[in-house]
């Protein structure tokens, strides 16, 4: 049996990893977005990725909503399963997003008038919250996975609404900009 001191050391290591990942990933994404030259992947297939990402985000949003419904109904196994699905979809999305933005130029929004303000409000809040979302999401997932329910509940109060907002606004931003994709 693991000693209490050993368990605390393991948790400290996990927390350090979560902090490192929560910093490294947004920085890496920012670097890829603002690289002066994109990575040549030698194929047109990358232009399909925004469409795939929208499907992934939609599925993740549905999994998040189902997860909430399951936990409210005390169906904790289903809650854990749907949150794991949302977490896995988030990981797949992140890889796809990084590949796309590392290889393709960003698309400019062509809308005018009030819709332009709505688009940029959603986009900016989406980006800012996506950059900070990983930190509480990883802690929430870790605490849920390790059945530390009190800690899980405390973190989820912040993580869940941010995660759901980022996921849903990702789909909305995609729907708003998709008419302006050239590929």
CA atoms within 13 A on the CB side of 171: 13
Question: Which one is predicted more confidently, 34 or 111?
Answer: 111
pLDDT, position 1: 47
According to DSSP H, which parts of 34-113 are helical?
A: 49-72, 76-103
Domain boundaries, the chain: 4-180
pLDDT, position 3: 56
102, 39 Cβ separation under 8 angstroms: yes
Which residues, 6 or more positions from 60, have their beta carbon under 8 angstroms from its beta carbon?
A: 85, 86, 89, 90, 93, 167
pLDDT tens-place string over residues 42-88: 778 888 999 999 999 999 999 999 999 999 999 999 999 999 999 99
3-state helix, strand, coil in the chain (%, to 5): 85, 0, 15
CA atoms within 13 A on the CB side of 3: 3
Q: Which residue has the tokens 């409210």?
A: 72
Q: What CATH number is given for 4-180 in this structure?
A: 1.20.120
């Amino acid at each position: 049996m693991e000693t209490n001191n050993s368990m605390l050391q393991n948790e400290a290591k996990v927390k350090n990893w979560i902090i490192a990942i929560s910093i490294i990933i947004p920085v890496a994404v920012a670097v890829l977005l603002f690289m002066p030259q994109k990575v040549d992947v030698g194929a047109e297939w990358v232009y399909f990725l925004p469409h795939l990402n929208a499907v992934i985000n939609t599925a993740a949003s549905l999994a998040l909503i189902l997860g909430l419904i399951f936990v409210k109904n005390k169906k904790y196994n289903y809650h854990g399963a749907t949150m794991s699905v949302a977490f896995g979809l988030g990981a797949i999305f992140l890889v796809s997003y990084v590949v796309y933005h590392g290889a393709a130029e960003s698309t400019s929004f062509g809308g005018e008038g009030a819709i332009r303000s709505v688009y940029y409000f959603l986009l900016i809040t989406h980006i800012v919250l996506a950059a900070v979302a990983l930190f509480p999401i990883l802690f929430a997932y870790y605490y849920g996975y390790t059945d530390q329910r009190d800690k899980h509940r405390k973190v989820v109060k912040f993580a869940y609404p941010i995660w759901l907002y980022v996921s849903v606004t990702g789909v909305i931003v995609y729907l708003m900009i998709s008419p302006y994709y050239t590929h």
